[in-house]
Amino acid sequence: MTGKRILGGYALLAYVFLYAPIAVVVVLAFNGGRDVLYWEGFSTKWFGEALRTPEITHALKLSVLIALGNALVACVLGTMLALALPRMRPWVRVPVDALAYMTLVTPEIVFAISALVFFVQAGARLPWVENPLGWQTILIAHVVFNASVVALVVRARFVSMGQTLEEASYDLGAGPLSTFRQVTFPRLAPAILAGGLLAFTFSFDDFVTSFFVTGPESETLPIYIWGQLRFGVTPAINATAAMILGFTLVAIVVAYVVLRRTAQGREGTAMPGV
């Protein structure tokens, strides 16, 4: 019993450790003063300041657009992959599976520079490409690992929900397309949405890949923050960070609620973390 209590206290400390740094950034974003560390009263002026800075609003817009496009493409590719995988023969499935996992575990810097080399080389060989790097290359690179994220989430749900309804649908004469539209999709929709929201946040928050494959014209929000950090932390940076955190947290909580509400305690529906 005492062991339980000690562990409980420890867990509480661990949660403080996990959330204190995030909370500090958010709280200091409301600091009225110019100096980050000296509290001079509550104020939302840095948010206004941030939203009046054209670099920040441009970067925000670009980040949101890339994250949306990425989520859309990743949902289509990832869902199709998740539907196909369980049916494949092992000698096809195992390498495809391995490939999908590889996109998630390869150190990001390695993927980022290989993508950079690839885009530059490909751009040099395509006569109509003037500047090979830009928002398009960020989008393409983000889809690589986010398709795997969506596939992972959707597949867990697809496998756990059982296939009896699909079989009934086929037996009643429906083809794969109408079976998908009428039977599978309605049941998979929450998982696809959750996977899409995760893909959105991963793209929206991504720094390393974006940083290496972007061109001079395309600055996402994390790239902007990275550049500003050279001059030290400012309240405006904290306000920008707080907005990013807000965006991400809303997406995550929506994904969680959607998945929980539809999962209703079924096994294998918890969101995988990777």
Partner 1 sequence: MTDSEAEVTKRRRGGARAGAGGPRYPGWLALPAVGWYLLFFLVPLGIMAVTSLGEIAEDSYSDIVYSWTIDNYRYLWDDFAGDTHLYRDIFLDTLKLSVIGTASTLVIGFPLAYYIARYAKHKTLLLFLVIVPFWTSFLIRAYAWLILLDPEFPLFRALGLSGFVESHELLNTPKAIYIGVAYNYLPLMVLPLYAALERMDWSLVEAAQDLGDSPLRAFRRVTLPLALPGVLAGSLLVFIPLTGEYIIPVILGGNKTFYAGNLIAQQFLESRDWPLGSALAMVVIGALTIVLLVYARVLGRQERYG
Q: Scanning residues 152 to 181, which ones bind partner 1 (CB under 8 A)?
A: 158, 162-164, 166-167, 170-171, 173-178, 180
**Taking the chain, what is the end-to-end CA distance rounded to the nearest angstrom?**
34
Binding mask 32-51 for partner 1 (x = CB under 8 A): ----xx-x------------
Q: Find the shortest distance in angstroms from Cβ 10 to partner 1.
A: 5
Q: Is 109 in the site for partner 1 (CB under 8 A)?
A: yes
Q: Find the shortest distance in angstroms from Cβ 210 to partner 1.
A: 10
| Whole-Å CA distances, 81 to 86, 154, 202 | 9, 9, 19
What are the two backbone dihedrals, phi and then psi, of residue 42, each rounded to the nearest 5 degrees? -75, 135
Give the span between the Cα atoms of 38 and 34, in whole angstroms: 8
Q: Find the shortest distance in angstroms from Cβ 256 to partner 1.
A: 6
Among 33, 68, 256, 258, binds partner 1 (CB under 8 A): 256
Q: Is 216 in the site for partner 1 (CB under 8 A)?
A: no
Using the contact rule CB under 8 A, the part of the chain among 4-12, 44-52, 125-133, 186-194 near partner 1 is: 4-12
CA atoms within 13 A on the CB side of 208: 11
Give the span between the Cα atoms of 62 and 221, in whole angstroms: 8
Give the span between the Cα atoms of 8 and 113, in whole angstroms: 44
Using the contact rule CB under 8 A, the part of the chain among 41-49, 53-61, 188-196, 226-234 near partner 1 is: 226-234
Q: Is 131 in the site for partner 1 (CB under 8 A)?
A: no
Among 16, 88, 94, 189, binds partner 1 (CB under 8 A): 88
What are the two backbone dihedrals, phi and then psi, of residue 216, each rounded to the nearest 5 degrees? -65, -20
Greatest distance between any 2 Cα atoms in the chain: 72
Among candidates 181, 258, 201, which has minimal Cα distance to 71? 201
Give the span between the Cα atoms of 160 and 270, in whole angstroms: 11
Among 133, 135, 241, 262, binds partner 1 (CB under 8 A): 241
Using the contact rule CB under 8 A, the part of the chain among 23-31, 41-49, 51-59, 64-72 near partner 1 is: 23-31
Among 64, 118, 129, 215, binds partner 1 (CB under 8 A): 118
Among 68, 72, 129, 233, binds partner 1 (CB under 8 A): 233
The pair of structure tokens assigned to 271 is 């969101």
Q: Is 3 in the site for partner 1 (CB under 8 A)?
A: yes
Give the span between the Cα atoms of 195 and 199, in whole angstroms: 6
